[in-house]
Amino acid sequence: MVRKFPEELIPEDFPLGEERLLECARRFGTPLYIYDAGVARRRLNALKEMLPEGTGISYSLKANPAKELVALFAGLGCGVEVSSLGEFDVLSGLNLEDQMSLWVGPAKSDTELMAAVNGGCLVVAESAREVARIENVANHCCFAARVALRINPGIRSGALSMAGSTQFGMEFTEALYLLRHGKESRVDICGIHGFLGTRLLDANKLAENISIVLDIATKLQVESGRRFSIVDVGGGFGVPLYEGEGRLAGKELKGLLVEDFGRYLDANPWTKVVGVESGRFLCSEAGVLLVKVVSVKEVHGTRFPIVDGGQNIIGGRDGYLGRKLTPMKLLSPSGRGEGRYTICGPLCTPTDRLAVDVTMGNVTEGDIIAIYQAGAYCATASPGRFLGRGFAREIYHDEGSFEDVFTGGGMGDELVDEKLKNLIVEVARGSVDPEEVVEGKKLREELGFDSVALVDLIVALEATFGIYVDPLEVDLTKVFDSTTTLREFLQERVRRG
């Protein structure tokens, strides 16, 4: 059977054609992610067209925390959803603390709860115990805490289930108890949150999930006597990632949701916001990953193009990557004929496969392969420190302008200094005492860093600070001369974001 890439899943409106992508690969190097602002804007408009008028939309940073994308969606009226201090730091760095924000996650630390309450976030509580912890933090801060209870109705759904027998949310009876007995405190339980499953492509199933959350919201209000100002019905708006998958039917979904939302609001007219959250739908199509063919070899009758980025830079995909074909394209293969290949990444593991037994244009060393639908859960979920391979460079494109992406969150100078000191000691593998890493120390002459150790340090810096050290743009001899020059370089890069 002939297997080919599902090129019909390549976004038709992606503004960078083959020649522009090849130019980007030459200019910025590979592996390279490019996120396009225009596609992201159109995806937001497409989501709005699927939803009843007035539906609140929050952008989930877990899909892609690039500050440029966060700022774009916030500027277009989206709220934001965070799940860690690192993601919240992105908001702080963009002065978006006052943006409508939700803080989710099943294991929030006391420090995170403190930041969420102080930052005015709507804290999505996972259990009665977490509500009690939020109340302790609120009392300590002398602030009121806004809370939504995360509901787990016991139903599994989606390509990745977020309900049923999972660690997420609480049962109906636990939520009802909290609503009935938690009226006199600094905790304002103002609504509920539900998220049953992700990457749903069936409009009927997605609407059914949302309807379940709305029905539970109504039942909780009736039985507790409370009134919710906000109901977050989650999301799970899917995009097709693999061969044989179709697109979510937006018009059909809207018709179903208009009816469901209308029924809920007729019964609960005091609810100010019925909202959804989305990450993958908004930014998956906005991203493309470019990798370069390092070598082509044949082993026992199978031809293997080996590319310079694999699971270390696209690790957020599910276990189907490699087994199912995703939208990819060999750039400018015209006139070469075709062959059957299994495309592999550079890692020392047989699982690092991007496409198996695919018929495509004949491949030669130096070719560029584009992997589409790469804007969500790819770079941000990648194990870049595995085997010390590092991360891909990330670029943001908006109407012909390109800039480096920063995803490391806000770090003050003291934290940068501390992390740098720890990395120097770690990379030195016991040959440098922490007390030796002081201002002005020469990396080569005094700390004994050779060329191999300096490369290891660059990889560690990129992984820790979410930066890219481009040898074509950075004077490595000057930057890595001493602890002082390296510290100044890092502080400037982190401040600049």
Contact 305, 293 (CB under 8 A): yes
pLDDT of res. 164: 55
User: What are the backbone angles phi and psi of residue 126, rounded to the nearest 5°?
Assistant: -95, -15
pLDDT value at position 157? Answer: 54
What is the model's pLDDT at position 496?
57
The per-residue pLDDT for 488 is: 87
What is the C-alpha to C-alpha distance for residues 47 and 121, in angstroms, rounded to an integer? 24
Tell me what pLDDT residue 495 has. Answer: 57
In the numeric block, which tokens belong to residue 17?
A: 């054609």
CA distance 33 to 446: 37
Low-confidence ranges of the chain (pLDDT < 50): 158-162, 408-412
User: The dihedral of CA 39, 44, 48, 50: what is its sign?
Assistant: positive
For 210-243, how does the pLDDT look when each residue is reduced to its tens digit (9 = 90+)? 999 999 999 999 999 999 999 999 999 999 999 9
pLDDT of residue 206: 95
35: its two tokens: 């996120």
CA–CA separation, 139 and 184 (whole Å):
12
Q: Structure pTM?
A: 0.81
Give the domains, in start order, of the chain with CATH numbers: 7-12+285-404 (2.40.37.10), 38-282 (3.20.20.10), 413-496 (1.10.1200.10)
